[in-house]
Amino acid sequence: MKEILRLENIHKVYTTGKYALEALKGVSLSLHEGEVMVVMGGSGSGKSTLLHIIGAMTEATEGGIYLDGKKEERYGLEPDATRIRAENIGFIFQSFQLITDFTVGENVSLPLILAGESRKSILKKTEEMLRLVKIEEKENSPVLELSGGQQQRVAIARALIHEPKILLADEPTGNLDSQTAEDIMRLFLEVREKRGQSVIIVTHDPWIASYADRIIFLRDGRITGKYENSSQTRDVNEVMRRFRESQAGKRRRV
């Protein structure tokens, strides 16, 4: 499978006054086309920082990032960061981050409006996306009228409409009940099947992680384990066991 993203030896240090906190310590990973990857870790493990770096929302202190095999020297720095986000990344958040004053259609079409696409193209693609996430009848509804699951579908449609290479999801099911969460995860897989979309999901929930093709475990800013799910089945217990193993050093210290 084609490699679309590679991180090499990524370090991220936050400095506040005389204090420095190293959130990521030499993280290296790669993402392939059509792959669903989960980044799993406890609080403070650095998974959100990793997501922010991949999403070009912040720059790495050290290390290289390759997009489609090409090294991006200014990956998290403006103005390249905006261009990278616009062309390659789609975001999905735990709290959906929809514009509450807009309708469903207006929210979904926003990336295309920003890109300056024609009216015809915007209307066509918006309809397509809404159909993909099975919410086309709600096009003119205000987003606050929708349930949590429906709002997340809108967020997914918005994230996909400009055909990004990578979909980044930060705890996408965190605010949803279990049934809705399962629907959303199935939607991710469906999107992967239909569009060959690569997805990176950040979560601390092993049940969500079990949907992944590959799981990366983080602890204290380092990768402490990997799990490749080559089978078609979801083994939550195995994921939990691997997660416990990856966090084992921390527990011994306690």
Query: Which residues between 164 and 193 bind another protein (CB under 8 A)?
Result: none
> CB of residue 202 vs another protein: minimum separation in angstroms?
15
Separation CA 109–CA 8 (nearest Å): 34
Query: Which residues between 194 and 253 bind another protein (CB under 8 A)?
Result: none
Separation CA 113–CA 218 (nearest Å): 37
Q: Measured from the CB atom, is 162 or 214 closer to another protein?
A: 162
* Number of helices followed by number of strands (H, E) in the chain: 8, 10
Query: Which residues between 31 and 70 bind another protein (CB under 8 A)?
Result: 57
Q: Which one among 29, 98, 130, 133 touches another protein, defined by CB under 8 A?
A: 98
> CB of residue 152 vs another protein: minimum separation in angstroms?
15
> CB of residue 65 vs another protein: minimum separation in angstroms?
18
Query: Which residues between 101 and 160 bind another protein (CB under 8 A)?
Result: 101-103, 105-106, 109-111, 113-116, 119, 122-123, 126, 139-142, 144-145, 158
Q: Which one among 75, 91, 188, 211 touches another protein, defined by CB under 8 A?
A: 91
> CB of residue 222 vs another protein: minimum separation in angstroms?
27
DSSP 19-63: EEEEEEEEEEEEEETT-EEEEEE-TTSSHHHHHHHHTTSS--SEE
Query: Which residues between 68 and 87 bind another protein (CB under 8 A)?
Result: 78-79, 82-83, 85-87
98-121 exposure pattern, b = at least 16 Cβ within 10 A, e = fewer? beeeebbbbbbbbbbeeeebeeee
Contact region with another protein (CB under 8 A), list: 1-9, 99-107, 129-137, 237-245: 99-107
Angle at 5 between CA 114 and CA 180, to 5 degrees: 65
Q: Measured from the CB atom, is 8 or 117 closer to another protein?
A: 117
Q: Cβ(179)–Cβ(206) under 8 Å?
A: no
> CB of residue 131 vs another protein: minimum separation in angstroms?
16
Strand ranges (E), 62-175: 62-67, 70-71, 89-93, 166-170
Tokens 């217990």 belong to which residue? 237
- What's 234's DSSP letter? -
Whether the bond between 206 and the residue before it is cis, its omega within 30 degrees of 0, is no
Q: Measured from the CB atom, is 127 or 235 closer to another protein?
A: 127
DSSP 137-149: GGTTSBGGGS-HH
Contact region with another protein (CB under 8 A), list: 12-20, 97-105, 202-210, 231-239: 97-105
Given the rule CB under 8 A, which residues bind another protein? 57, 78-79, 82-83, 85-87, 91, 97-103, 105-106, 109-111, 113-116, 119, 122-123, 126, 139-142, 144-145, 158, 162
